[in-house]
Amino acid sequence: MSRNRLMLLLAAVAALAIAAGGFFLGVQPQLDRATAAKADRASVEAGNSTTRTELGRLREQAKSLPKMQAELAALRASVPSSASASTFISQLNATATATGVKVSTMTLGDAQAYAPPATAAGSGEAASAEASSAATATPTPSATATASTPAVPAAPVTVTDSAITALNFSVIPVSVSVKGEFAQALAFVKGVQANPRLFLIDSISSSIETAASADSGGVAETPSWTFSGSVYVLSDAGQKATSSTPTNG
């Protein structure tokens, strides 16, 4: 092999070595960085797409925000964070005036801590046992038809919320006695139920009061109605609702 051909061969090998070194030392890192940048760009675009979707959802919810705020205000007025006895009494007096009844007495008791209703586990087991025995019982032939025992309706399921506890929820007993005719008393109850403050009436009693009539000289009979129930207070956790003192109107 001549010297020139050897030099050319060495030059070619050196060129290949330089090209390979340049690729691995210069080009390959750039390709790796480009690939990483492309992956980062795809990740950012995916994140931007998720953010745009969330913003669209929030914009849709923002359209109903005034309605939800109005509903929240109505619920807060229905079950306030304090006893607000004076406001409640004013509502009752306004309703009495509008319906034509006369308030004779109005009593608000002390606030009582809420106690969740106990679940009747025993009754459920008993009902299950009765159903099982009824299902396995073998009917006996009879010549005469007998009336079947009517099924006992099941009690409704009690629904509770773990966020409502004795620390933040209170019950205030209320009793209101009014004088007026039946139609007036019925209008008074309807008006009370329509008031902003929730007043749950669970007991109604009536009586007839007699008094001497100044006009005719005889005896006048006036129906008297007593409505008993409760109002409620939902305060912040750890705070107790302020209690009210009995008030006669």
The DSSP output letter for 203 is: E
Distance CA 133, CA 127 (A): 10
3 state SS for 6-35: HHHHHHHHHHHHHHHHHHHHHHHHHHHHHH
* Whole-structure pTM value: 0.60
Digit-coded pLDDT (tens) for 190-217: 999 999 999 999 999 999 877 665 555 5
CB 186 within 8 A of CB 66: no
Distance CA 185, CA 30 (A): 89
The DSSP output letter for 115 is: -
Digit-coded pLDDT (tens) for 130-165: 445 444 545 555 444 455 677 777 777 777 888 888
